[in-house]
Chain A
Amino acid sequence: MTKSRLTRRGVLRTGAAMGGVLATPTLFTGAAWAQDSGFTNAPTGSTVTLGFNVPQTGPYADEGADELRAFELAVEHLNGEGDGGMLQTFSSDALEGGGILGKKVEYVTGDTQTKSDAARASARSMIEKDGAVMISGGSSSGVAVAVQGLCQEAGVIFMAGLTHSNDTTGKDKKANGFRHFFNAYMSAQAMAPVLEGLYGSDRKAYHLTADYTWGWTQQESIQAATEALGWETVNNVLTPLAATDFSSYIAPVLNSGADVLVLNHYGGNMVNSLTNAVQFGLKEATANGKDFQIVVPLYSELMARGAGENIAGIPGSQNWDWKIENQLGDRYKGTNAFVQSFGEKYGFPPSQAAHTCYAQTILYADAVQRAGSFNPCAVAEALEGYEFDGLGNGPTLYRASDHQCFKDVVVVRGKENPENEFDLVEIVEATPAEKVTYDPEHEMFAGGNLGECNPGA
């Protein structure tokens, strides 16, 4: 009855040891940042290197792949290849397709894995080993905040990718960091009037919220905005980021007295929680004598694809949509030029993650060109308070006090009968920038300090 080579204790021990090894974060030893030319990684030869730090593995890998496509396209256009994309429509004419300050643009890529420590390690490696003078990309606010802090210390510019937490340009803002993407507060402000129009001002909301920086600020923002309409907040339940089955969180919703479910979820979380909510009949249910409704404050085309037909009719907000120029006109010029060059190259329309990364690369290059220097402090100065147009979002301001872009917010709904696999959302309206603009000292953003720009050396 015995097997000498197999013991429960041994298996448990090795299992535990394995877990420990897997949980150990990647450790990097530091090296000197500074070089001799006045600022970190001052380009000396005929080329300049940019670092694109995107999730290439892990749950947001598809989003990262789309960001990378956009970066490649932007580099092509900066170097004067291809059809020039949004460079043709961009309000600044500093860039002429001859690289940046006459230097050919090259790039290196890193994998954030959507983990803060891995993202910092890959950014650090691109700065130290590859000499990247700017870091961009990413698809999570946790990562963006971590990498922004690293770039501040290292003395390079960070052009954030997709990050939607208020904290990125709120309490965690940094002088070397810039965000083109909108944020949770703006989503909430843009959505509130639309929600009132669709569902009235007498509603009771139940929130499910991803338990990390983005989820918290998203929930806080939408709760404040809907309560200002007269909505009541019945409950807010925090769900672990690693959760895959949300049925036990969804099931109690219908008996809670709520008649709206707000899903402050993103990525796989959102796909699964929405699917579960639809399975439990919430879309067809009635509560308090009204039709039950589901709201997803932050939308993404890639997620809409994952959620399939469950997304139909559900409202949300986006930073940009590839159909916006066709539907809302010339104000959003640049959109069609970008969709054209992206679509020709890759065969499908770009996501909002791709758009923001493309725009950030162009904005950085343009700022360098106008400043006449790669010095991060000169670049930051050129970006601060900069007003531009023709990058697909309409007139946009890069506000000096917090390095946040202010532009129109797109409110969308899941399309009821999509014509093809790209046609998943319909634009409800574009909320003008002034309606989503806030004071830099607003309580949801207070507590941070840009600090001094750091050139490194």
Chain B
Amino acid sequence: MDAILLQILNGLDKGSAYALIALGLTLIFGTLGVVNFAHGALFMIGAFCAVTLQRILTISYETVDDSRTDFLGNPMTVETPYVQAWFGPETGATIIDWSVPLAILFAIPIMLLVGFVMERGLIKHFYKRPHADQILVTFGLAIVLQEIIKYFYGANPIPTPAPDVFSGSFDFGVLLGFDPGAIIYPYWRLVYFVFAMAVISGVFAFLQFTTFGMVVRAGMADRETVGLLGIDIDKRFTIMFGIAAGVAGLAGVMYTPINAPNYHMGMDFLVLSFVVVVVGGMGSLPGAVLAGFLLGILESFASMTAVIDLIPGINQIIIYLVAIIVLLTRPRGLMGRKGVMEE
């Protein structure tokens, strides 16, 4: 029982990332009709916003310490971050320690800008082109973005730790009456789940309760009619692209303490998120979220030793297996509606 609960918890944080990325993918798909294979790269760029802020906060001045030597035997150069020099050693260290949460503020404008430039500069020109062209151009863009990041940051993962207060883990099992040590869960993963729920609720509230959101939803359902009513739907859809990029970016920022980011992390999530969208039902926002969590949890279960012993290799194919079953039994996905995206 405790093992099952543990895997459900595990699935929640992976599912949170899938849900956030798939939410953005499906937003873009539903509004602009583009399959954005560069969406994983946006997640990766978000993560590197956190890395960049960490680097900015640790920009240092050098002093030479004659009492120590470096690896070549020359006098050692000691680096002190400017932040520590300006705000005092302790406050400075705290600011650096909190660089990941602070990176949220840093990432929002950057991601909106990246999203805006991407849509206006490139993807806009592919609205009227076949899907194969759209997929190729966005996939190519993803590779370009990936290589740019690799050029500046290298190929190795870069450690980006959570603030000290969130760094440990807590005994979740004891709260539920299990034996101590039965269910250990890291604090930051809980933070990630709560954060993901907040972002998802925020996006849904925005679409549900604002006039802007209402128009966008109307546009998703019937773009032509909304256009005929004299509303510039394209402009709003561009803004939605920016928001989707922002959601992916924030998902990336907060993910960095879970796994040290590298340039390839976007691709790792992209294919799975695409499957999540298909399983959830194309163009369905609640479907994307539901399928994100569902597949995250199923993937966790499939990695349990007991399950692998029963069906070897299941951990590597579970997501695709579920996708096949869902497409065979519910061709529109779990929450896809009739008529949406169909001829």
Q: List residues of A whose CB falls within 8 A of some B CB.
A: 1-8, 10-12, 14-15, 17-18, 57-62, 235, 237, 240, 242, 244-245, 247-249, 251-252, 254-255, 268, 271-272, 275-276, 279-281, 284-285, 287, 302-303, 305-310, 322-323, 339-340, 343-344, 348-349, 419-420, 422-423
- Contact status of A62 and B136, CB under 8 A, knowing A2-B342, A12-B278: no
Bound complex: CA of A309 vs CA of B147, how far in Å?
Answer: 27
Q: Contacts of A3 on B, CB cut-off 8 Å?
A: 33, 223, 341
Q: Decide yes or no whether B184 CB sits under 8 A from chain A.
A: yes
CB of A59 within 8 A of CB of B262, answer yes
Asked whether, in the complex, the Cβ of A302 is within 8 Å of the Cβ of B156, the reply is: yes
Q: Out of B130, B136, B316, which one reaches A18, CB within 8 Å?
A: B136
| 18 examples of A-B residue contacts, CB within 8 angstroms | A2-B343, A3-B341, A6-B131, A10-B131, A11-B131, A14-B132, A15-B35, A61-B154, A237-B308, A245-B14, A248-B10, A280-B185, A287-B181, A306-B157, A308-B260, A344-B72, A420-B71, A420-B76
Partner of A2 from the list B14, B132, B189, B339 (CB cut-off 8 Å) is B339
Does B174 make an interface contact (CB < 8 A)? no
Inter-chain CA distance A276–B155, complex, in Å, is 20
Q: Do A272 and B131 touch (CB < 8 A)?
A: no
Instruction: Judge whether B259 is part of the interface by a CB distance below 8 angstroms.
Output: yes
Of the residues B72, B139, B155, contact of A340 by C-beta under 8 Å: B72
Contact string, B329-343, partner A, CB cutoff 8 A, digits 1/0?
001100010011111
Asked if residues A240 and B340 are in contact (CB atoms below 8 Å), the reply is no
Question: Judging by beta carbons under 8 Å apart, are A248 and B300 in contact?
Answer: yes
Collect the chain A residues with CB atoms within 8 Å of residue B72's CB.
339-340, 343-344
A322 x B159 contact (CB < 8 A): no
A8: B residues at CB distance < 8 A: 278, 282, 331-332, 336, 341-342
B262 adjacent to A268 (CB under 8 Å): yes
Which residue of the partner chain, among B33, B71, B221, contacts A6 with CB atoms under 8 Å?
B33
Q: Kindly list chain B residues whose C-beta atoms are within 8 Å of the C-beta of A339.
A: 71-72
* Residues of the A chain whose Cβ atoms lie less than 8 Å from the Cβ of B265: 244
Nearest CB of chain A from residue B43's CB, rounded to whole Å = 12
- Is B304 on the interface with A (CB-CB < 8 A)? yes
Distance from B310 Cβ to chain A, minimum over Cβ atoms (Å): 14
**Chain B nearest CB: distance from A24 CB in Å?**
15
A244 contact from B139, B181, B268, Cβ within 8 A:
B268
User: B186 touches which one: A248, A271, A281, A420 (CB < 8 A)?
Assistant: A281
Tell whether B169 is near chain A: CB-to-CB under 8 Å: yes
C-alpha gap A340/B73 in the complex (Å) = 9
Interface size on B, residues (CB 8 A): 69
Cβ of B241 within 8 Å of any chain A Cβ, yes or no, is no
Do A306 and B260 contact each other (CB < 8 Å), given the known contacts A58-B155, A255-B2?
yes
Residues on A with C-beta less than 8 A from B161 are 308-309
CA distance A47 to B340 in the complex (A): 67
Q: How far is the CB of A420 from chain B (nearest CB, A)?
A: 7
B259 partner, pick from A60, A275, A344, beta carbons under 8 A? A275
A272 to B139, CA, bound (A): 26
Report B-chain residues with C-beta under 8 Å of the C-beta of A309: 159, 161
Give the residue name and chain of the A residue nearest to B188 (CB).
A279
Closest chain-A Cβ to B190's Cβ sits at a distance in Å of 11
Residues in B neighbouring A422, C-beta threshold 8 A: 71
Instruction: Name the residue on B nearest A13 (C-beta).
Output: B131
**Residues of chain A with a CB closer than 8 A to B221's CB:** 1
Q: CB-CB < 8 A to A276: which residues of B?
A: 258-259
CB neighbours of A307 from chain B (8 A): 159, 260
B290-310 to A contact mask, C-beta < 8 Å, 1/0: 000000000110011100100
* B residues near A323, Cβ cutoff 8 Å: 71
| Chain B residue contacts of A59, Cβ below 8 A | 155, 262, 264
Chain A residues with CB below 8 A from B113, complex form: none
Q: Is A248 within 8 A of B303, CB to CB?
A: yes
Whether B155 lies near A62 (C-beta < 8 A) is yes
Query: In whole angstroms, what is the CA distance A15 to B7 when docked?
Result: 31
- Report the nearest A residue to B222, measured CB to CB: A1
A279 adjacent to B186 (CB under 8 Å): yes
Is the pair A4, B155 in contact by a Cβ cutoff of 8 Å?
A: no
Q: Which of chain B's residues have a CB closer than 8 A to the CB of A58?
A: 155
B150 at the binding interface (Cβ < 8 Å): yes
Residue contact A252 to B6, C-beta cutoff 8 Å: yes
Contacting A at CB under 8 A, from B169-185, are 169, 181-182, 184-185
A3 to B340, CA, bound (A): 8
Q: Could you tell me if B184 and A15 are in contact, using CB atoms closer than 8 angstroms?
A: no
Flag whether B168 is at the interface (Cβ < 8 A): yes
A323: nearest chain-B partner, CB-CB: B71
Q: Which residues of A contact B159 (CB under 8 A)?
A: 275, 306-310
| Contact flags B207-234 to A (C-beta < 8 A → 1, else 0) | 0000000000000011100000000000
Q: A280 and B169: CB pair below 8 A?
A: yes
Interfacial chain B residues near A303, Cβ < 8 Å: 156
A121→B337 CA distance, assembly (Å): 48
Which residues of chain B (127-159) have a CB below 8 Å from chain A? 128, 130-132, 135-136, 139, 147, 150, 154-159
In the complex, A10 Cα to B130 Cα: how many Å?
9
**Interface: B274 (CB within 8 A):** yes
Contact of B139 among A18, A61, A302 (CB under 8 A): A18
| A276–B303 CA distance with the chains assembled, in angstroms | 15
Q: A18-B135, A237-B308 are in contact. Are A5 and B33 (CB under 8 A)?
A: yes
Residues of B within 8 A of A287 (CB): 181
Q: B70 at the A/B interface (Cβ < 8 Å)? A: yes
Does residue B3 face the partner (Cβ distance < 8 Å to A)?
yes
> Are A251 and B6 closer than 8 Å at their CB atoms?
yes
**A311 to chain B: closest residue by CB:** B159
- B258, A279: Cβ atoms closer than 8 Å: yes
- A397 vs B117: C-alpha distance in the bound complex, in angstroms? 59
In the complex, what's the smallest C-beta–C-beta distance from A27 to chain B, in angstroms?
A: 21
B315 interface contact, C-beta 8 A: yes
Q: Is there an interface contact between A245 and B158, defined as CB atoms closer than 8 Å?
A: no
- Smallest Cβ distance from A233 to chain B, in angstroms? 14
